[in-house]
């Protein structure tokens, strides 16, 4: 009798797993398109950036590629060293520059800005995130992480998983971390509960959610600029 009950439990468990798996596969990602699109040319260096409009904000559709006069920043290097000569041009075109926080504050063109935490929250809510989750930390939402990574077939925002750069190394890690796995993006907002730490957003290639937390100013993350709708 005990063996039969154990076998029945296994069948029921496997059945529930199949049902849950089917439910996950059956869920459909909503199709969300921008209210407007356009192109902006940075008059400082001639770099062209696409933009999309959601709500009362317009967001660039590629990472910043402007070299500021101060602060730390760099391009991806084959040998994980910042310097001249080994940069992969394709990586630069895809990911742009990585900036420490001080540099990130200086790269927005006139009329644009480094998004605040509130700006990111507005975008996430425009893509469907609930007001209950918006201020939480860690992974939040349902499909907003995937929507943020879509190209012209969807939202057009195209957040890319460029990883981040740290000047510090620990065992088994290099300066460049998580490229192709996570994308890290600065906000302009300091964490009130963690002095000197700045909020950021993270998207993952294998997650439909968006990660919110804070990090040290010395890490180098990518920058997406936004502006009030024109």
Calculate mean pLDDT across residues 70-90: 66
C-alpha closest to that of 37 among 120, 168, 154, 207: 154
Please report which confidence band the pLDDT of residue 113 belongs to, taking 50, 70 and 90 as the band edges.
Answer: very high
Separation CA 5–CA 9 (nearest Å): 6
166-197 per-position pLDDT tens digit? 876 654 556 778 888 999 999 999 999 999 99
Report pLDDT for 132. 95
- Top pLDDT among 14 and 152 is at 152
Report pLDDT for 77. 65
Please report which confidence band the pLDDT of residue 221 belongs to, taking 50, 70 and 90 as the band edges.
Answer: very high
Q: What is the DSSP string of 26-55?
A: HPPPP----SEEEEEE-TTT--EEEEEEET
Separation CA 64–CA 61 (nearest Å): 9
**Kindly report the CA angle at 99 between 64 and 227, in degrees rounded to 5?**
40
Provide CB contacts within 8 A for 207, sequence distance 6+: 139, 145, 146
Separation CA 3–CA 56 (nearest Å): 63
30-64 per-position pLDDT tens digit? 999 999 999 999 999 999 999 999 999 999 999 99
Please report, rounded to a whole number, the percentage of residues in the chain having pLDDT higher than 70.
Answer: 80
What is the number of other CB atoms lying within 10 angstroms of the CB of residue 164?
21
Taking every pair of Cα atoms in the chain, the longest distance, rounded to a whole number of angstroms, is 79
What is the number of other CB atoms lying within 10 angstroms of the CB of residue 116?
14
- Top pLDDT among 169 and 82 is at 169
Do 47 and 65 touch, CB atoms closer than 8 A?
yes
Reported pTM: 0.83
Point out which residues pair with 186 in neighbouring strands: 200
Please report, rounded to a whole number, the percentage of residues in the chain having pLDDT higher than 90.
Answer: 71
Secondary structure in 3-state letters for 93-139: HHHCCEECHHHHCCCCCCCCECCCHHHHHHHHHHCCCCCCCCCCCEE
């Amino acid at each position: 009798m005990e063996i039969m009950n154990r076998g029945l439990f296994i069948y029921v468990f496997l059945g529930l797993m199949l049902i849950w798996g089917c439910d996950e596969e059956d869920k459909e990602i909503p199709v969300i398109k921008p209210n407007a699109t356009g192109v902006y040319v940075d008059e400082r260096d001639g770099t062209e950036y696409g933009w999309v409009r959601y709500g009362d904000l317009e967001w660039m559709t590629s990472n910043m590629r402007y070299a500021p006069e101060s602060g730390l920043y760099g391009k991806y290097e084959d040998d994980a060293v910042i310097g001249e000569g080994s940069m992969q041009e394709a990586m630069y075109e895809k990911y742009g520059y990585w900036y420490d926080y001080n540099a990130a504050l200086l790269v927005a063109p006139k009329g644009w800005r480094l998004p605040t935490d509130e700006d990111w929250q507005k975008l996430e809510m425009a893509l469907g995130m609930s007001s209950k989750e918006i201020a939480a930390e860690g992974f939040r939402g349902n499909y907003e992480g995937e929507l943020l990574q879509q190209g012209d077939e969807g939202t057009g925002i195209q957040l890319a998983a460029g990883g981040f750069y740290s000047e510090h190394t620990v065992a088994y890690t290099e300066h460049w971390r998580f490229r192709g796995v996570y994308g890290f993006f600065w906000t302009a907002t300091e964490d009130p509960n963690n002095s000197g730490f700045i909020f950021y957003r993270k998207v993952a290639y294998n997650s439909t959610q968006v990660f919110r937390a804070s990090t040290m100013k010395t890490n180098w993350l990518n920058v997406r600029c936004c502006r009030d709708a024109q």
